[in-house]
Amino acid sequence: MKRGILEKLTVWFSWAAGLTLLSAVSVLLGYLLLKGHEALNPALIFGETPPLRALLLRERVFDGLFPAVAGTLVLITLSIAWAIPVGISTGIYLAEYAGGRVKRALDAFFDVLAGIPSIVVGLFGFASAVFLHRHFSERIGPCLLISSIALSFLVLPYIIRTTQAALEGIPRDIRLTALALGATRLQNIFLVLLPKSLSGIMSGIVLAIGRCAEDTAVIMLTGAVASAGLPRSLLSQYEALPFHIYYISSQYSDPAELTRGYGASILLLFLCAALFSAAYGIRKGLTHFTLYRP
């Protein structure tokens, strides 16, 4: 009797928590749309520049968010490009090779890394930029390269932990089948275990993409500025949507400028949704390929 009541209470609590979360997200999205829908037009992105000329990089956009959108996409791409090889390799090592004290020490280290505030990672990136500027080259300073490397450190725990969990969750019979047929340990990892765990690994990459897209503390200390234009190189400063939203919200001069800030927030949400959709499509495609390949 008590067990049945407990199960019902658990179900009710789960439904209440889910509805509360859904309501909070709906209120947030509704508020942003209410405040920023007037700014949602091509001028928000391209300003007075013809969209085609801006997309072909024939004319610079001065009063639109196109440079910030481009900077955000480049920043996310670079950060994920640095983080994926290191994160997946480390996850493989923790799941398949590390043991005993080494595994416990690395688990503790990555748990601490996952809990470090983003502002601390930003300060580390800023200090690195200052050190490189003073001791190696005056051309090096807060820039796109430093920001992307700092963000990659921030998202590494997501990729490492999801890779490790996905590999350790593979059933023992699947783990031993290829080895029993004469495959080496490395062949078993790359031809059996990794294809079987691609879905879980992609989940970590999706989380990392979202973390890179929304972070402000790291990029405001390592290279993001308000009016840099399109990033010209890895050593140049850049614009990004999170920093633009922060800048507008703290220093807007009139209601129209604040409305553009709300519009930029909606644009960032659309950008994240597009990136999540692309990552989800890749995940489904990889899962379908690994399940039905001959």
Check whether 293 has a pLDDT greater than 80.
no
CATH of domain 40-292: 1.10.3720.10
Of 185 and 290, more confident: 185
Number of H helices, E strands in the chain: 14, 0
Q: Given this model, what pLDDT does residue 290 score?
A: 55
Length, in residues, of the chain: 294
Q: Which residues contact 269 (CB under 8 A, 6 or more apart)?
A: 29, 32
Check whether 137 has a pLDDT greater than 80.
no
Q: How confident is the model at residue 86 (pLDDT cuts 50, 70, 90)?
A: very high
What average pLDDT does the structure give for the chain?
84
- For the segment 192-247, what is each residue's pLDDT rounded down to a tens digit? 888 888 888 888 888 888 888 888 888 888 888 877 778 888 888 888 888 888 88
pTM: 0.85
Spell 18-34 as b/e; 16+ CB within 10 A means b.
eeeeeeeeeeeeeebee
Domain parsing of the chain, residue ranges: 40-292
Q: Given this model, what pLDDT does residue 213 score?
A: 82
Check whether 283 has a pLDDT greater than 80.
no
Average pLDDT for 287-293? 55
- Between the CA of residue 226 and those of 19, 246, 294, what are the distances in Å? 38, 10, 52
What span, in angstroms and rounded, lies between the C-alpha atoms of 18 and 16?
A: 5
- For the segment 248-273, what is each residue's pLDDT rounded down to a tens digit? 888 877 888 888 888 888 888 888 88
